[in-house]
């Protein structure tokens, strides 16, 4: 009673005003039409409350690809005045993009282009000057095209060629986590990461004999990254919040994907770009169609091959500042000029040695662009993390459908010398057939694109 008497009317009025204004703020924040950002804040708070975890300061940056790093655009300075307007526009529109949305970020003038560099900052841009007469045939880059290499002999068509082979996925104890594992009854499990590694080792021996210096980006069934799934917790939570799906199983799935896919590939890229600095990366995969339950997989009658080059950056991907930058590096390094003929040789190699038909994306596909080469089928451009961030020509291989019955039978047969009966036809082991397709294609490519001399007797 005595305490109440100490409050004067002014203090009470101020207190009421304070409470009212706080209430107003809370109500308007909640009732306001929520922007994605505002939703994130709410979801984020809910997530933290539910988990009673300390506040996560890492926010998902929507202007970068997952785990992407903000690029230093001055790196493009070395390619000033090296590409003509025509060549730039041709690559940009015919290979690297799928629609006109690039115009939101790139304005092409008569003698230069203005490229938006940081979509968080209004008008932040980079000016790229075009070359007036001809594009440089071999601009600054840390790799050699076949035509840049010195003459060689017929026995060593790949001498001086540095090739990194990237066996796709991890395999082994990680095969289930990365969803590259299935098993039928008591059969051996099919694990893509182990199959690509085994194939990579055969190709390495063969290419080395032809004179190449070959690196395996991964030498066993362990991840290249030292980080563990739990190390991606904060990034996964931030991404989950940005997607508005913050249940525990979704966060765990994101965290795992950051570990075995995004983080792993980014770490492989560090090796490729900083240590190996190859002239070419071969990304080895075995394709599959959806098998649903890995312990009782759906089999398919379809079996095919296709080969991917970098390109077909979608409008959503182009909106990421780092992806736009990485695409420009590819354009300015003229990677496509090397990827296209090389990829065509390898696609022909698969057609010839495996006898498989080519896989075709739907003509309406918004994520794949058909690369047209006379007499070649199954050559496509797509924007994948690996073929974008490895800073040299990259050929991404997708032969065989693992959950096709015949392919499954051949995987069960394992590796062997010579030929064995498969479905009524004598065939090499699937691994050696894959390797022969690639090796013979590379041999033919370099023989036809380098000066070859006969050594003096």
Which residues of this chain interact with Zn ion, rule CB under 5 A?
Answer: 168, 285
* Cβ distance to Zn ion smaller for residue 68 or 168: 168
φ/ψ of residue 453, rounded to 5: -120, 160
What is the maximum span of the chain, computed from C-alpha positions, in angstroms?
117
Tokens representing 211 are 């004179």
**What is the Cα–Cα distance from 80 to 96, expressed in whole angstroms?**
20
In sequence order, what DSSP letters do the residues of 193-210 get, joined into one string?
A: HHHHHHHHHHHHHHHHHT
* Cβ distance to Zn ion smaller for residue 85 or 367: 367
- Provide the minimum distance between the beta carbon of 168 and Zn ion in the complex, in angstroms, as a whole number: 4
Query: By Cβ distance, which residue is nearest to Zn ion?
Result: 285
Say how many C-beta atoms besides its own lie within 10 A of residue 22's C-beta.
10
* Cβ distance to Zn ion smaller for residue 197 or 238: 197
Q: Which residues lie across from 216 on neighbouring strands? A: 165
- Provide the minimum distance between the beta carbon of 179 and Zn ion in the complex, in angstroms, as a whole number: 10
Tokens representing 397 are 């291989």
Task: State how far Cα 112 lies from the chain centre.
Answer: 29
* Cβ distance to Zn ion smaller for residue 168 or 349: 168
* Cβ distance to Zn ion smaller for residue 285 or 410: 285
Q: Nearest to residue 152, comparing CAs of 386, 453, 456, 457?
A: 453
- Provide the minimum distance between the beta carbon of 265 and Zn ion in the complex, in angstroms, as a whole number: 11
* Cβ distance to Zn ion smaller for residue 238 or 307: 307
- Provide the minimum distance between the beta carbon of 396 and Zn ion in the complex, in angstroms, as a whole number: 9
- Provide the minimum distance between the beta carbon of 283 and Zn ion in the complex, in angstroms, as a whole number: 9
C-beta separation of 378 from 347 below 8 A: yes
* Cβ distance to Zn ion smaller for residue 162 or 285: 285
- Label the pairing between strands 190-191 and 181-182: antiparallel
- Provide the minimum distance between the beta carbon of 410 and Zn ion in the complex, in angstroms, as a whole number: 17
- Provide the minimum distance between the beta carbon of 387 and Zn ion in the complex, in angstroms, as a whole number: 13
Q: Nearest to residue 305, comparing CAs of 323, 283, 285, 324?
A: 285
**What is the Cα–Cα distance from 144 to 236, expressed in whole angstroms?**
38
């Amino acid at each position: 009673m005595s305490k109440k008497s100490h409050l004067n009317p002014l203090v009470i009025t101020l207190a009421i005003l304070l409470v009212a204004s706080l209430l107003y703020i809370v109500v308007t924040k909640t009732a306001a039409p929520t922007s994605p950002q505002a939703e994130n804040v709410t979801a984020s708070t809910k997530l933290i409350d539910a988990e009673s975890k300390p506040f996560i300061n890492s926010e998902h940056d929507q202007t970068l690809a997952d785990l992407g790093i903000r690029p230093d655009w001055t790196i493009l300075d070395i390619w000033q005045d090296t590409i003509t307007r025509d060549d730039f526009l041709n690559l940009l529109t015919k290979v690297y993009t799928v629609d006109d949305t690039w115009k939101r970020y790139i304005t092409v003038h008569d003698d230069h282009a203005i490229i938006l560099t940081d979509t968080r900052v209004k008008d932040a841009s980079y000016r790229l000057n075009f070359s007036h007469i001809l594009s440089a045939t071999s601009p600054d880059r840390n790799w050699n095209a076949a035509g840049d290499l010195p003459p060689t002999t017929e026995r060593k068509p790949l001498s001086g060629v540095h090739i990194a082979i990237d066996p796709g996925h991890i395999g082994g104890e990680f095969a289930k986590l990365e969803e590259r594992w299935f098993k039928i009854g008591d059969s051996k499990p099919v694990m893509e990461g182990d199959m690509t590694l085994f194939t990579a080792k055969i190709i390495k021996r063969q290419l080395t004999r032809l004179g190449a210096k070959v690196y395996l980006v991964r030498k066993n069934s362990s991840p290249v990254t030292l980080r563990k799934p739990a190390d991606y917790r904060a990034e996964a939570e931030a991404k989950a919040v940005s997607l508005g799906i913050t249940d525990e199983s979704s966060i765990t799935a994101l965290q795992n994907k950051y570990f075995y896919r995004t983080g792993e590939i980014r770490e492989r890229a560090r090796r490729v770009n900083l240590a190996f600095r190859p002239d070419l990366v071969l990304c080895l995969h075995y394709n599959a169609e959806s098998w649903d339950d890995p312990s009782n997989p759906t089999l398919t009658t379809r079996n095919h091959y296709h080969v991917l080059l970098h390109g077909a950056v979608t409008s959503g991907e182009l909106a990421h500042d780092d992806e736009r930058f990485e695409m420009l590096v590819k354009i300015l390094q003229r990677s496509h000029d090397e990827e296209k003929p090389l990829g065509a040789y390898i696609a022909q190699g698969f057609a010839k040695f495996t006898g498989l038909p080519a896989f075709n994306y739907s003509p309406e596909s918004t994520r794949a662009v058909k690369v047209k080469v006379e007499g070649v089928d199954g050559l496509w451009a797509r924007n994948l993390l690996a073929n974008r961030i490895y800073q040299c020509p990259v050929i991404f291989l997708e032969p065989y459908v693992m959950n096709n019955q015949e392919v499954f039978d051949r995987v069960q047969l394992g590796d062997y010398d010579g030929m064995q009966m498969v479905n009524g036809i004598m065939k090499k082991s699937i691994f050696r057939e894959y390797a022969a397709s690639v090796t013979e294609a590379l041999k033919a490519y370099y023989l036809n694109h380098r000066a070859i001399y006969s050594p003096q007797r």
